[in-house]
Chain A
């Protein structure tokens, strides 16, 4: 019986014990959420680049982006048959909203409705990436308009009618407010899986350290430093540097724009260097005359200053490349792939587990607040599931490895994380098998090795603890038919 099924059964059992309407409603909502895709919220301070990152992640320009603060209402993005939008009013009514796309980008027209009256927007568009995942774009925290920020706090802190299951937290710099927010998010989950469902993104990585050519390297160093800090590692499972603007600009890159970039690349290196000192010089009418100043200005706005310089430099070094190649290069540079892996492999693959965690959390809270009638059966079953569910044990062990609570030699550390399913839960992903035929031999080899670690008196306590869980995971692969896919999800 999967953890999700067990959680479902527990909710059934609890339904009969509810002592009031509110408890019944919460149980029904928890059951509904079990059936929905995983909800990942993109959260961060104002202008952290959330909407830009969303566009890059879903591979479509669906969220409005601007230099000024522009996301004022939490907006959910779902997979659907066409581009359309709805607005959810404070009183629960749902109306159609206009989804508009023109040369100014995408935006949602909410008509005459005041912003304060709308609690969320729902956007639907065809997106294979969103079949197992709903992404929620949120208003910025720390906004000068505090009511706007409060909507995000409610959404993530569990006060919202449809809270998030996982969070991608965008940071440009580290502020006490960020730590408090993430700690609040972790606290809102009663079950002990801290930090697994939160990942931090060092956003706008292309602007770090003045946006020079080494900006992304600096961002990687900074992200690694943050990830190793006690404060951050206790609230998120990792820190990834991502330049969302680079990835987003790759989406809409046209041949015309590529040609303009190539024309700039054709200027003499000294001329380019003199212009690339500042945005003002890059866009000056008397410089880089091969391309009109207005086009240059638009390119800077689209790619960012770092992106423009990188793209031009790359084209100069790859004279036979085309727009597709450049788009590929920009996405590679942006660091988006690593984040996609986390979202679509780690979070999405564990949707059921994360959902079940939320359901168990609801039940525990209802029990604590006395909204469920006394039942030894429910108590015992809830405790049994919470303590014994192997999926939760795996999550906790990954968490302990990520946070440094369990210390292992470097090679064992990385292998353990992979075998426990951090980078995907299919047997092939866990074992790092290139071909299906490799799974069997690799499984045997790993099982022998980790069993030895688990039982050897030479092993340190941490090594033994982790090895026991890894052996459990490998045994489950052995027990299941690995050709059917994921093991624990």
Chain B
């Protein structure tokens, strides 16, 4: 067991600056209006740095820098850009522990998670897109004996990226890696709840990128995000967030006739068929871990398996074992490597979760474990901790239909395969789902019938590069985490070439 010291304190392996301006054109630039806002750690609720409060003027400066850099960056060879991405990955790997502690301090998630998942995945993501870019090639079509259609990939130019707070570094990298690989310059706005992590990352990698290729404008959605997303100077907007803002971004994009990619959340079903409990073996143990995965990252994951559907034949026994599994989860100081559940990322997130615990009870959902705020004592008393909570109820309840974004699962039963699929698909969303069974034919059928972009089959919450990730229904547009995301950051240029010296004969 290790307990890391808070960044900047005695014995800490990493420190944040006391203030972050905007990163524009390869240097830090203070905000035009001169305003800053405090950035608290959810671990203690105490402010640890202040952040530039960006406005439209700052966005314009960042767009100037990006447009200045986009041309040259887009013309670099694939080999050069891939080398840059690989160097970024190497630099991150050499500083993995520091990045993990820094992100944990800002987001509240356990350091064992940032060490084992967030940062290693981010590193691999850069390497994946470095490789994908090297292997990408255009196409040619022989239209006829003298005519050839060549298809080239070209960068879009300058793209806007708006990043969520639940995985401040990994979500930024999911967007940065394909955009940079494809040869675009980026203006990125981190979430106002977690704006500092990306600046710590930039402090490690800035020298590897030409000035202006990556620009970071901090600030609030309405003041900095909106002018960025609605700017006629961006060629694409990528956003991860919720449905109303997603629609608003599409509305802005429609004014400029530019594409968007959106990842907008879910209410993911996690289905446990009867045969899971046929033996008390490794697979049963894995399935119970899969059930408890709703509490991973404090439930602040768009694919949180927040609806557990358990078949009636083993319902009572499996649920009892699941409750026991959750009872044994360790909540505590996120900087302790033994901690499995840390703090919610912000006070308003805490309040929202508590409001759902309230309506869940009012609707008659039964609380099997948890159900309230956790006070961990000492300096952690000011932090934003929620007990892992299991509700038992029916799929029409609001706690079954809405994304709570907390460590809360709503459990119900199903009778047979048809009932499972009907309940699983009875949601506005379609981002993720889980299917657990020892019957591979059943698993395949269920996976194909569930209307979601990813169906984890006998596993959950794995996010490897090269597995496409994105939503059906109201969960968004586009597929991240896969080479197909390169296409979302590229134009197709067709050269239609005639190799015949003869006139066409029309005129």
- Are A and B associated in one complex? no
